[in-house]
Every structure is written in structure tokens, then in C-alpha cells.
């Protein structure tokens, strides 16, 4: 029995690699999207600055600009994963692609993880465009105090958003209507997810301190800027982030398994 398990594991790994490569080829086959990001990011930053100057803010310190950069990156990650990756799964469902994939793969989870890895690699281009935009508009040179922790926090944030986006897509497909869940995600997630810096006000600090899904984004800013945003040591924040990602993975795996089983045995999309 042992050889069959090895073959099965090797087959699953091969499928995952194929999904990653397929996702990268598709994403990179649209250079116009990358060009749009490079061109539009400086424009909305310039609009942001003009708005601030309208309120009498004539100059911003480098520390504040660094904070704005990481806040902007957090919102970029959130919008890319939720509206790009999550809605991509919903579109695949509506176009019948998920059903076709199930006839040639072992399950949907491999497809989701493979495309998620490809999307995470692709999202680094958004980060590069954002850094370039801040340099063009503000003359800001990126400074990172703790690069290893920053890299780990970006990985954790991307994994968290991959799993949350998948749960969002599964629920939307189940309900056949996206507006209820989309409104909840659109207004609650930026607050509960740690996208807003704790420096905004004391209420945001309390939310970031007590919301487990906020920790990867808080860690991102702390490791880049070099100071604690919430009164919790970095090692504890890392542990809580890892546990949160693991719990989200279990939830996602269960939902995808229910989705997969219903599609295979009943021929229906959804969870119930």
C-alpha cells in the first residue's frame, strides 16, 4: 500500500505545480493589467495629496509616508485577493470551469492552492508598482527595519487572504447572490482585518489588538517601520497569526470538501 500512497502524493504535487504554472501563464499573459497598475497608482496618490493640501496639510514626514505606503499595500492586497482571486473563482463556477477541472484533477483544493500561489507571486508586481509610485510622487525610498519578519508577515497575510477569499467565493456560489456577503466583506474586513493602522485612533488600536485576522497586517507595518503598533510582543503576534491561518485553512478545506462532494455526487454547485 505504501507505493500507491507515494504515487498519489506525487500526482497531487504534480497537479499543484501544473496549476501554479497555468495560473502564472494566464496572469502574465495580460501585461496591460500590469501597465494599468503602474500608470494609475501615481494618479490616485497625486489625487490623495491634492486632497490633503485642500485641508491645509502641506507636507508629510517620511515616517508618515512609510506608514501610508504599508497601509496602501495592505488595501491593495485585500482588494486584489477578494475582488481578483475570489471573484475569479465565482466566475469559474458560473462558466462551468470548476466542473470541467474536477474531471481531470483530484479535487478543487489543489486548483485553489495552485492558483493562490500563482496569484501571490503576481501580487508582488502590484507591490513593485506601489513602491515605484511612492518614489515618483513623494520621492520616498523604501526602508525596512526587519526584513525577515516582514517577508513572513506578507506570506501570512497572503495565505490569510487566499483562505478568506475562497470562503467568500464558496458562500457566494452557495447563495447565488453576492451582494449580502460582499457588503459584509467590503465594510467589516478592512476594519477587522487590520488594514487600518492603529495610529488612526484608540478604537482602531483596540480592534487590531483583539482581532486575530488583523495580526499579519499589523506585523507587516511593525516589521517595516520598527516599532510596536499594539502592546503585544512580536513572537506572540507571529504565533497568533500562524494559528489563525491554520484555523482558516481547516475551515476552507472543510467547505471545499463539502462543495466538491456535492458537485460530484449531486451535480449541484453549493454547500447545502
- CA 114 vs CA 110, 117, 161: distances in Å: 6, 5, 14
Question: Is 228 strand, coil or helix?
Answer: coil
Q: Give the model's pLDDT for residue 5.
A: 41
Contact 253, 165 (CB under 8 A): no
Give me the phi and psi of 164, to 5 degrees please. Answer: -65, -40
For residue 19, which of 92, 119, 157, 168 has the smallest C-alpha distance? 119
Given this model, what pLDDT does residue 72 score? 85
What's the CA gap between 209 and 232, in Å, rounded? 8
Name the pTM for this structure. Answer: 0.82
Instruction: With CA atoms as reference, report the closest residue to 132 among 43, 50, 216.
Output: 43
Which of the residues in the chain have pLDDT under 70?
1-12, 27, 30-59, 99, 101-107, 176-178, 263-272
| pLDDT at residue 151, rounded to an integer | 94
Nine-digit cell at 45? 496618490
At 2 the pLDDT is 41
Count Cα neighbours of 234 within 13 Å in the Cβ-side half-sphere. Answer: 15
In 3-state terms, the chain is what percent helix, strand and coil (to 5)?
80, 0, 20
Q: How far apart are CA 17 and CA 8, in angstroms?
A: 14
Asked if 69 and 131 count as a contact pair (C-beta separation under 8 A), the reply is yes
SS3 267: coil
Q: Which residues contact 216 (CB under 8 A, 6 or more apart)?
A: 153, 156, 157, 160, 194, 241, 245
Q: Note every long-range contact of 123-130, with CB atoms under 8 Å and residues 24 or more positions apart, other chains counting.
A: 123/76, 123/77, 123/80, 123/81, 123/158, 125/34, 125/37, 126/37, 126/76, 126/77, 126/80, 127/73, 127/76, 129/34, 129/37, 129/38, 129/41, 130/41, 130/69, 130/72, 130/73, 130/76
Residue-level pLDDT at 4: 43
Distance CA 114, CA 102 (A): 14
CA dihedral 260, 264, 270, 272 (to 10 degrees): -100
Amino acid at each position: 500500500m505504501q507505493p500507491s500512497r507515494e504515487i498519489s502524493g506525487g500526482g497531487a504535487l504534480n497537479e499543484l505545480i501544473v496549476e501554479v504554472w497555468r495560473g502564472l501563464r494566464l496572469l502574465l499573459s495580460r501585461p496591460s493589467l500590469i501597465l494599468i497598475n503602474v500608470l494609475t497608482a501615481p494618479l490616485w496618490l497625486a489625487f490623495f495629496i491634492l486632497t490633503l493640501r485642500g485641508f491645509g496639510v502641506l507636507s508629510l514626514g517620511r515616517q508618515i509616508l512609510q506608514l501610508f505606503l504599508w497601509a496602501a499595500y495592505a488595501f491593495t492586497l485585500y482588494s486584489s485577493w477578494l475582488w481578483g482571486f475570489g471573484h475569479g473563482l465565482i466566475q469559474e463556477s458560473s462558466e462551468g470551469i470548476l466542473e470541467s477541472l474536477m474531471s481531470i484533477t483530484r479535487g478543487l483544493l489543489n486548483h485553489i492552492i495552485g492558483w493562490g500561489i500563482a496569484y501571490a507571486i503576481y501580487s508582488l508586481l502590484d507591490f513593485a508598482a506601489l513602491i515605484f509610485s511612492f518614489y515618483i510622487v513623494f520621492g520616498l525610498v523604501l526602508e525596512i527595519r526587519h526584513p525577515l519578519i516582514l517577508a513572513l508577515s506578507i506570506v501570512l497575510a497572503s495565505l490569510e487572504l487566499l483562505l478568506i477569499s475562497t470562503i467568500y467565493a464558496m458562500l457566494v456560489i452557495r447563495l447565488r447572490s453576492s451582494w449580502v456577503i460582499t457588503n459584509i466583506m467590503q465594510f467589516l474586513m478592512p476594519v477587522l482585518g487590520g488594514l487600518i493602522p492603529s495610529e488612526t485612533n484608540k478604537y482602531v488600536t483596540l480592534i487590531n489588538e483583539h482581532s486575530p485576522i488583523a495580526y499579519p497586517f499589523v506585523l507587516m507595518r511593525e516589521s517595516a517601520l520598527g516599532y510596536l503598533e499594539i502592546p503585544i510582543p512580536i513572537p506572540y503576534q507571529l504565533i497568533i497569526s500562524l494559528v489563525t491561518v491554520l484555523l482558516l485553512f481547516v475551515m476552507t478545506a472543510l467547505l471545499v470538501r463539502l462543495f466538491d462532494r456535492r458537485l460530484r455526487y449531486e451535480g449541484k454547485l453549493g454547500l447545502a
